[in-house]
């Protein structure tokens, strides 16, 4: 990227969402039936890509952005999140 305008001011904001960081994953987390919808994973996810679906009361992972850090798996008190190596 070359910034040629005055002071490199960025007026096109929120462009981070264009970077689909899901490609960075080595391990992929999976939410199993044990999920109680407690939202702990939601609050711990450093990328904000887990949301508990209000209808199903289950956590859902946005794999477009999930980097596979597995903090969710580590934090889940119900062992409801499992992970495996992703075959890309």
Residues that bind another protein (CB under 8 A): 2-3, 7-8, 21, 23-27, 67-69, 85, 88
Of 26 and 56, which CB lies nearer to another protein in the complex structure?
A: 26
Q: Residues near 70 by Cβ (< 8 Å), separated by ≥ 6?
A: 27, 29, 83
Question: Are 21 and 47 within 8 A, CB to CB?
Answer: yes
> What ranges in the chain are assigned the alpha helix state H?
40-44, 71-75
Of 22 and 52, which CB lies nearer to another protein in the complex structure?
A: 22
Least distance from another protein to the Cβ atom of residue 76, Å? 19
Of 23 and 48, which CB lies nearer to another protein in the complex structure?
A: 23
């Amino acid at each position: 990227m070359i910034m040629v305008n005055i002071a490199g001011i960025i007026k096109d904001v929120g462009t981070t969402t264009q970077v689909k960081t899901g490609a960075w994953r080595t391990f992929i987390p999976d939410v199993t039936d044990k999920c109680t919808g407690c939202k702990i994973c939601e609050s711990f996810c450093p990328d904000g890509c887990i949301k508990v679906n209000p209808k199903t009361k289950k956590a859902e992972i946005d794999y477009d952005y999930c980097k596979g850090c597995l903090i969710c798996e580590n934090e889940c008190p119900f062992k409801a999140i499992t992970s495996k190596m992703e075959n890309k």
